[in-house]
Structure 1
Amino acid sequence: MKIEIISKNCIKPSSPTPHHLQFFKLSDQHRRSSDFHSNLTFFYPAHNIINGVDPTTNFVIKSNRLQQSLSQTLTSYYPFAGRFQNDEIIICNDDGILFIEAQIDTPICDFLNHPDLMSNTHKQLVLTSINSIDADADAGKTMETSIISKGYMILVKFILFSCGGTVIGISMTHKLADLASMATFLRNWSASCRLDSNNILPDLHFIGQTIPDPGPNNSSAPTSSGYKFSQSCTKEYICKRLSFSASKIEQLKSKVIDVLEKSEEDDQYSKPSRVDVVVALIWKSAMHAAASKSRDQEQNQKFRPSTMLYSVNIRPRLDPPLTEACIGNLACQFLMMVEKESEMELHELVKKLGAMKHYADKMGKKFQGDDQQVVVEEIITNVEKERNDFFMKNHKKNAIFYFCTSFFRFSLLEIDFGWGKPVLVTSPSTSEKHLVNTIVLMDSKVDGGIEAELNLWEEEMSVFECNEELLQFAIVNPNII
């Protein structure tokens, strides 16, 4: 599959940012955050045609609407159109974000009906600050170099398939915003694009503070958050989609609840959520796949400890809770660990997930104060310290790390730019530095269902996707349409 670049545009806010807002200082937890890009792709089918015109003209109309409404939306999200001066300060100078038009010479149905093809190539549908893209002939260098030098906070790619279907790929720096902020931005942008008269932008609150001009010599060295997890990507990893129907999830829940109710332990986790049981099954199946490959390579190693970092949105856990208008990176990673083989049982993993969520709720209520930004900082700093202390204490145990994030309740399948809702939303991993063993959960198009994306080493994925217990409840790489 070859993507041809049609045009590249820099979209600036429709109104200039006032002078008193032009220097924005990040909060401490944002300064410590890694500067990687979070990615989302939205697939819109060919039947979403405006005014019945031909696909190319239709694409031009849509693209113009996207760019105009994006410019209008950026006026309220002015830090998104700025540039980092250093690791601490954003200059909100309206330099803009990158918008690329592209086309593919195949119909979108060919792409969506071949899940293996999609798993291996759909990372080409988004831009990041580090992935390799078509050469920039005018500049005589790769697009990769151009993007890095210009420091875009947001990168958008609008792609036309030969049938008229389209994809919107968006990439946003995680240093400035988490998924909740990204979803709020997308809802506001899409409402503006479809000319929704009821769309009233909320009074946004950016985590950080506006400051006077710090001067050209101001600098700030990156602040260490303690233990740094890194993972070599010398091997190939592969992405697969998993689909869990509502009925299968209920069967899985019943299976877990039966075991929990028969145990004589505390019954506070006897009613797990549908997310809990799905994550537990994926985690268990992935650990079994890793253990299987370990047995192949090292006959004496039948089990390796496992640690999962679970990303939690702390906004709703505060008292009072923060609203979606609070823009920033407020996702906190809580951890769970499997230290012995008996803890790999499904109900044991569900209990760990329940305990983790209970602890996250407790942390949200532990810190109180009138200044909620200070409260947020205290929570994240406390959790980071506990996590780093844990890593320092347990790093010699050679544990396998897994990472899980949930896109539930963000209504991504409702993002309508004026030509209908997407048939699919994905979160492709595009960077070779992106951590393998990542689980991303999303709402299903069918009520009550769950979709999951999973990255594993290629040899482990071949074992994982044949797991008999997993296949009782999930479909691996199902067709989309």
Structure 2
Amino acid sequence: MASSTILSRKIIKPSSPIPSSLRHHNLSFRDYIANPSYVPVASFYSKPENYNMTQISYILENSLSKILSSYYPFAGRIKDNKYVDCNDDDIGIEYLNVRVNCPMSEILNNPNNDAIDIVFPQDLPWNNSISSGRSLLVVQLSHFDCGGLAVSLCLSHKIADGYSLSKFLFDWADISRDEHSDIKLSPHFNAASFFPLMDNPPNIPNIVPEPQRCVSRMYHISSSNLTRLKDIVATNSAIVQNPTRVEVATALLHKCGVAASKANPGVFKPTMLIHLMNLRPPIPLNTIGNATCHYGTMAVSEDDINLTNYVARLQKAKQKLQDELKGMNTNQLAADALKRIKQGADIIKRDIFDVYSCTSLCNIDLHKHVDFGWGRPVRLSVARYSMKNHFLFMDERSGDGINVVVTLTEADMSIFQNNEELLEFASPVGSVPRIS
């Protein structure tokens, strides 16, 4: 069984002093209501040909220090859930150098995606980033016996969404490849100007269900199979227009997840699926922070989870949200977000629905841009999600289709992974193709 040993641990500070005018970074309303968990992302690389591990660590530490001068709130500390203190005395992020005593193939060829948890700081992924006492960003460099390596980071969701995390990775990789590189689109920590935090913000109800013992697996859906799914949906519907890759994949995974959930008690339970939508644009693309909103789709009968019917519901719900957001001022946006959170909390409390959630990191070319100087990653993934019924979508490295990390309870996963309709369109990642 793989184990890890910490070789070194240090605090990386921004290379330039933070101007006094920037040392108090106000959280936006959407930061305030965000789940305070650490979002864990890892990229795996084959053995670099022209670098040794000491050089690699030096490059990463040096480029981290430089990029933090632009992403200074990531190195700060949250105070009172209202602002980030970027005082030079306390600022910095934690950086770990770790040895993993197995070849990288043992992790990447494991049929369970949970095996990658070894490249993250212990007990940190998805945990509360405010009460942990650790820095808002924690980076770990993991060295494998074969010479391969992984660069992982855990970033607090209180100060960044998935888009912001991706932009940070892109800019960090650019500076790592060329220390004289300029950031193409300077990050602006101005989300509070679009979503100002009210003077006396209300308490936010907890909408996170109690954790259960979950497992995760990664599946690949090829471009040809996504086209097949789109054709099935479009052929059987007069109202679905140009379904997206993520829409048809979501409908398939949701249907198979519901089938697995139903098999245990033998009774269908209505479901609600929560989707995140990026608000950039109309908000500027270089706005860093939380700039998303969510919408839900419901299936109250088994007919509703038919692929065509469900894609139609997805498109209708998304369009409805887009129409509602048009013309809303900041106060109305805040009120709308609160309303949705309270509705979600009420649904979870009353146990009316099985709740699913999905996040997409597609169409942002993560594999293409997260090159620190020794090539593109052979795989990108996340640590096992702490809650059941979660789908995370990412583009596949070669550009052929998408990968999705599916998190379910152990009981549901044992049924889900044998679903014939799932396996007609999706292949488990791990054993095929093998990573040497």
Aligned twin of 2:320: 359
Contiguous gaps of at least 5 residues in structure 1: 52-57, 133-143, 211-219, 262-266, 296-301, 369-373
Contact 2:214 2:408 survives alignment (8 Å): yes
Which residue does 1:86 correspond to in 2?
A: 80
Counterpart of 2:236 in structure 1: which amino acid?
Answer: V
Q: Matched residues in 2 for 1:366 and 1:394: separation? A: 30
Q: Pairwise mapping of residues 135-150 of structure 1 onto structure 2 (< 5 A)? A: 150=133
Asked if 1 retains the 8 angstrom alpha-carbon contact of 2:125 and 2:154, the reply is no
Out of 407, 413, 416, the residue aligned to residue 371 of structure 2 is 416
5 Å-filtered alignment, 1:271-282, equals 271-282=242-253
* Partner in structure 2 of residue 155 of structure 1: 138
Cα pair 2:175 2:181 within 8 Å, conserved: no
SS in 2 for 1:471: helix
| Residue 280 of structure 2, aligned match among 292, 304, 315 | 315
Per-residue displacement from partner, 1:249-293 (whole Å, max 9, x unpaired)?
A: 1111111212114xxxxx2x2431121111100001001100111
Deviations 1:59-117 (A, max 9, x none): 1101100000100111111111111122112111242000000011211123222233x
2:354 is equivalent to residue 400 of structure 1: yes
What is the TM-score when the length of structure 1 is the normalising length?
0.82
Match status 1:6 vs 2:7: yes
Matched, 1:452 2:404: yes
Amino acid at match of 1:462: S
Whole-angstrom distance in 2 between the partners of 1:390 and 1:379: 17
Moved more, 387-396 or 102-111: 387-396
Match of 2:393 among 434, 441, 460: 441
Residue in structure 2 matching 1:288, options 259, 262, 281: 259
How many angstroms does 1:209 deviate by? 5.8
Q: Percent identity of the aligned residues?
A: 28
Match of 1:428 in 2: 383
| AA aligned opposite 2:217 | K
Q: Is the 8 A contact 1:32 1:223 kept in 2?
A: no
Partner Cα separation in structure 2 for residue 128 and residue 315 of structure 1: 33
Are residues 429 and 257 of structure 1, via their aligned partners in 2, closer, same or farther at CA, if it must alter by over 3 Å?
A: same
Query: Which residue does 1:59 correspond to in 2?
Result: 53
- The one-letter amino acid of 2:83's match is I
SS state at 1:62 partner: helix
Aligned residue among 134, 154, 173 for 2:156: 173
**Which residue number corresponds to residue 196 of structure 2?**
none
Give the structure 2 partner of residue 332 of structure 1.
293
Q: How does 1:163-242 map to 2 (within 5 A)?
A: 163-195=146-178, 197-207=180-190, 223-226=202-205, 228-233=206-211, 235-242=212-219
- Contact kept in structure 2, 1:193 and 1:418, CA below 8 Å: yes
1:352-401 superposed Cα distances (whole Å, 9 cap, x missing partner):
11112212332442336xxxxx4xx6435414414524653785462100
Shift of 1:237: 1.1
Quote the Cα distance in structure 1 between the aligned partners of 2:270 and 2:422.
Answer: 21
The whole-number CA distance in structure 2 between the counterparts of 1:4 and 1:221 is: 45
How far apart are 1:29 and its partner, in Å?
A: 2.2
Q: CA RMSD in A?
A: 2.6
Corresponding residue to 1:250 among 227, 230, 235? 227
**By how many angstroms is 1:478 displaced?**
3.8
CA distance in 1, matches of 2:230, 2:129: 49
Answer whether contact 1:244 1:475 (CA < 8 A) is retained: yes
TM-score, normalised relative to structure 2:
0.90
